[in-house]
Structure 1
């Protein structure tokens, strides 16, 4: 691994990559527990896939922004370490598949040469910070949210507060009240507002999808921009401390709020503010406004022979920017998959003739920004050669689907296969939906909703169904979800389950019924509400009959072999199985990190590392007793009850008094030094206690 280490200029990044390489080696030597290793690699964007022996790599691209050079770098990496295919996710990341674990440190090092990271793209961390792809060019936006999304990404990357939480944490920034970044389904969602000329955000907390979707609560109608980073840190600290850790399915923020109540949660958040390094955090916004006077000055001559398709493309795929004379071009990317040869040509195109950036979208597409009006014919011609002028950007035809059983361990039925077939049906039989943006179709391969199926007007969820002692692939059909704007949205109803091969007929039944019976100017959601869930259940009920299945019904879309339900162990921030020795070892590492932060003058970071070491150490002794430790708060409480109050483990005062110094003191140098000293002393005493217990 020596050949690439010296090429990385950032010592923090270099240390990260060396650590990954070291842990891979220790894991293969049997010196690191498999579950602990899984936690570490997930936090470095390395995710096990359905096929044994290879990894999916998730590349973290804050708010979906990618420059021409970065796209070239990603393409080079995909060719070198993978198959040349790039997959855009619904969180504006890029994934590449079939990567050898041994090569992941080298892959990461290559990406970092163009300031692209894998860090915290997976795992129990702050995931990619998403934003409306039109941020900065949106004609309806109060201001550009890109600088704020970027600042949040930077502040919490490698931040000790959010490295080993009970579950993942997701944030979004919408560009306007249209809420195209879907604030209501996020742990924290932000919608920009202007109040008397002052910039701020409407803030929503505790949303989520999955098997139990929850609409986020509005916690602020307006908070000034300087307050968003302190607010986020306070929320993360409380989530880290009180969030569930033993029961993975109950570990998201939405369940914590349900358990303790929104008011109590916000009180804890407010009480935490004293411990923060920043009571206010100004965000730099310069450098985000492109000098458009220098963009796209060269206009090649282009002759478009067939004008009609070009004019249709202008209507469906070209969007006016708020910058006069400039346009954005939407590229519909089927299932989010495109290849490195096209990626390189696209990178060169935007670098030379546009604003040298693309934004990946939440619907797995590409938005090219800052294109002069006079360059639109040229872009059409160039994109047409790449196969990137297909109509229907952001339309009903633009179906969102997760990878499903193609590569994901949790996939139950093929989401990509049915997506391809539904798109074919729409193109051939319902051309009026090519430019319809009022109906969305989304598909997930399982209940985890990576394809966001339960917030779509028409959603499909991969399932299985039994018939004559055999198992066939199936689809749960959901109806009535959608984005309403300004932080409001609705979740779809689970209407009925049908065999997968009848999914296209289900879509036909729904669209034909809507066309025949909708009142004038009645949109789909109003029509659904008027008719009701039971009406659609009866409409689709004939398709659910399993007494008349054919051989074809037992073969999933996109496959030629009989369906087998094979669900593996999911790695969507899976909860770690803890070993006592490993926990104590990690406590020692955390204290070392606290020492490093202290030496660098980062008092708040040092304090949080020391706090984590204290809690980990206590957890180790509780685990040794066979006790459940489902949150940091419960660890602190139990340690007092089991060890301190019984006299089994002597300590001055209470353990809660020791641990909770973190929320009662400002992050000064004096407190950081004192707290680290306490943490080390507690670790040393616990280590000796454990050795005595083992030996006796």
Structure 2
């Protein structure tokens, strides 16, 4: 069946890759509709990009950790299947662009040889689990959150409860109360905490729930002030089950967890999570920390001799880019990666460097940078020299000069205005006109090409969002919404920036100059930017920038976006961040057949909880197919259950031994045992057969009436 050899030892992974290849073939043959195929490929990290006929591939790298071998593998794949450019995302992933759809299974198989996956890097699933890049080395951390982030990644990868949710689901772990993992803006966020219990230190987490960015940012609620470590996985599973069942599925803009929690209320949501506990396979789930507590080992003890030509530049680099680790005598080295983009030739040399001299580990960061870990103090001069050869020794790691930006109109379908082009200009201005800010780590600038906030613009001190403006004579120019006042406050608290004015993109740099100049002129002693903003007030800054929003005096240059040489054209494609819900009856019933196969396979493998959840999916999906015939709403799974009783059971169109509600919700009233898994699977099979007969009868009646 397959057109290539995967050479993958893991049969689960191999099956996944071959399934992608098979579905690509069926799609090409017209046997799978485009929307259903989109959902499948997104769940396998294959994302359509702005340019026709090519894909963006997102490589899922839990908490951003990469070894030398993995970085070499990623570089080789990028050269073979793409154009040799690697892009670091704000979720610690790597993206490569311009990949042919036909070659994606082969690409995936190559990555898996070094234990790298594409699975669920996109789509309506649990996305990459992120964490503070300093986890495990932070001098202030209560403990290393890495084992917990890894366990979360492993447990929910391919887990049936989170394969086809209404929208994506994001989780983050912070090493300290500083909240460098940005937990306050995630669906679930975890901050490392400890407390004394009977004279012993107990590990746990402060848990944040239902935060998010986008066009309607929301501060996460405190779910637990302290959750014991072995309750981490069961709690996440309970939340995912509730989100899967009650989350919006038709109205994409309302399909995130933050809207569900807002609608239900936190107390009601918590009660629903508690109701799921009986159905969980694990009431507690101990985390295996041993693999992450190994002694740090170096390939060589050699200390190469180097000569530093510019001592001042070296000392400046040490001040801004080098971090003390909690391990005595070891340091982490930050690399500022402009726009998160670097190339495979440099990646390979960097991989060789960390393999030999840095315990073979680096982590990609939430600000699209690289952090090399475990560098001995005596090797810092050598690393500076070697990194400088690669162009990786620029000072200003995590400083104001280190601007975060999404790809924007370069490759993204949703991009409205250039985010990368204006970033280049703003960084130039900062270097040339504001050199004192190179070491400033108290201010952040973030830029997104649209309202979806992939560049996190609405949580920055100064943010810019790509937009457009239309003149009275209907000419369209690229624009930027200017936002001020966002930031991370720590311990799960943050603040979102206020929208001030919309200015033509070419005036973005002038807006930045005005803000920085005013801050320098009116800042009180030791006053930080957010305090200064609050003291002056939103209206003050609106008045300060208002004149830049005047579009009656646009020049020819204003109609050309940053980094472009032609007049701006607003072109927004179809976003794929969540996939599209398909209501084709035949497709839905076909999906039910596939889920029945998965339920049976899991049962035969004695995976009772997985089998039960697949059976649940069969019941809901099949009911959705029949409700679609009735023209009923199918926004949520809970709504489907309720409507099926009202429209098909209560009206005697379909007869069951009980209500559909009672049939379906056995799932959270029974523990996942062999007996219940078998009974539930048989009931799912019987219901599917009943629905299939009913559907065929309806088709027959329809033909007779014609």
Q: Specify if TM > 0.5.
A: yes
- Kindly indicate whether the alpha-carbon contact (under 8 Å) linking 1:42 and 1:121 is maintained by their aligned counterparts in 2: yes
Q: Report the counterpart of residue 48 of structure 1 in structure 2.
A: 48
- Kindly indicate whether the alpha-carbon contact (under 8 Å) linking 1:192 and 1:200 is maintained by their aligned counterparts in 2: yes
Q: Report the counterpart of residue 5 of structure 1 in structure 2.
A: 5
Deviation at residue 574 of structure 1 after TM alignment: 2.6
2-structure distance, mates of 1:354, 1:304? 20
Deviation at residue 294 of structure 1 after TM alignment: 3.9
Q: Report the counterpart of residue 132 of structure 1 in structure 2.
A: 132
Paired positions, count: 696
Q: Report the counterpart of residue 599 of structure 1 in structure 2.
A: 604
Partner-residue secondary structure (3-state), 2:134: coil
Partner-residue secondary structure (3-state), 1:287: helix
- Kindly indicate whether the alpha-carbon contact (under 8 Å) linking 1:4 and 1:109 is maintained by their aligned counterparts in 2: no
Deviation at residue 291 of structure 1 after TM alignment: 2.0
Deviation at residue 628 of structure 1 after TM alignment: 1.8
Structure-to-structure mapping, 1:256-267, within 5 angstroms: 256-267=260-271
2-structure distance, mates of 1:419, 1:387? 18
Deviation at residue 293 of structure 1 after TM alignment: 5.4
- Kindly indicate whether the alpha-carbon contact (under 8 Å) linking 1:296 and 1:371 is maintained by their aligned counterparts in 2: no
- Kindly indicate whether the alpha-carbon contact (under 8 Å) linking 1:296 and 1:372 is maintained by their aligned counterparts in 2: no
1-structure distance, mates of 2:103, 2:312? 49
Structure-to-structure mapping, 1:484-563, within 5 angstroms: 484-563=489-568
Q: Report the counterpart of residue 60 of structure 1 in structure 2.
A: 60
Structure-to-structure mapping, 1:84-103, within 5 angstroms: 84-103=84-103
Deviation at residue 298 of structure 1 after TM alignment: 1.4
Deviation at residue 613 of structure 1 after TM alignment: 0.6
Q: Report the counterpart of residue 215 of structure 1 in structure 2.
A: 219
Structure-to-structure mapping, 1:189-588, within 5 angstroms: 189-196=189-196, 197-292=201-296, 294=298, 297-467=301-471, 468-588=473-593
- Kindly indicate whether the alpha-carbon contact (under 8 Å) linking 2:297 and 2:359 is maintained by their aligned counterparts in 1: no
Partner-residue secondary structure (3-state), 2:633: coil
Structure 2 unaligned segments of length 5 or more: list them. 702-706
Partner-residue secondary structure (3-state), 1:58: strand
| 2:624 is the counterpart of 1:619 | yes
- C-alpha RMSD over aligned residues: 0.9
Q: Which moved more, 1:262-271 or 1:298-307?
A: 298-307
Q: Report the counterpart of residue 655 of structure 1 in structure 2.
A: 660
Partner-residue secondary structure (3-state), 1:90: coil
Q: Report the counterpart of residue 689 of structure 2 in structure 1.
A: 684
Instruction: Map Cα deviations across residues 190-220 of structure 1 (whole Å, 9 max, x no partner).
Output: 0000111110000000000000000000011
Moved over 6 A (4+): none
Partner-residue secondary structure (3-state), 1:87: strand
Structure 1 unaligned segments of length 5 or more: list them. none
Structure 1 length as normaliser, TM-score?
0.99
Instruction: Map Cα deviations across residues 594-629 of structure 1 (whole Å, 9 max, x no partner).
Output: 110011110000000000011000000011222220
Deviation at residue 179 of structure 1 after TM alignment: 0.1
Q: Report the counterpart of residue 171 of structure 1 in structure 2.
A: 171
Deviation at residue 2 of structure 1 after TM alignment: 4.3
1-structure distance, mates of 2:70, 2:4? 18
2-structure distance, mates of 1:390, 1:4? 43
Deviation at residue 469 of structure 1 after TM alignment: 1.4
2-structure distance, mates of 1:78, 1:471? 37
Say if 1:345 and 1:290 are closer, same or farther in 2 by CA, change over 3 A: farther
Q: Report the counterpart of residue 69 of structure 1 in structure 2.
A: 69
1-structure distance, mates of 2:675, 2:331? 55
Say if 1:346 and 1:380 are closer, same or farther in 2 by CA, change over 3 A: same
2-structure distance, mates of 1:174, 1:6? 37
Partner-residue secondary structure (3-state), 2:334: strand
Partner-residue secondary structure (3-state), 1:5: coil
1-structure distance, mates of 2:47, 2:581? 15
- Kindly indicate whether the alpha-carbon contact (under 8 Å) linking 1:167 and 1:575 is maintained by their aligned counterparts in 2: no
Structure 2 length as normaliser, TM-score?
0.98
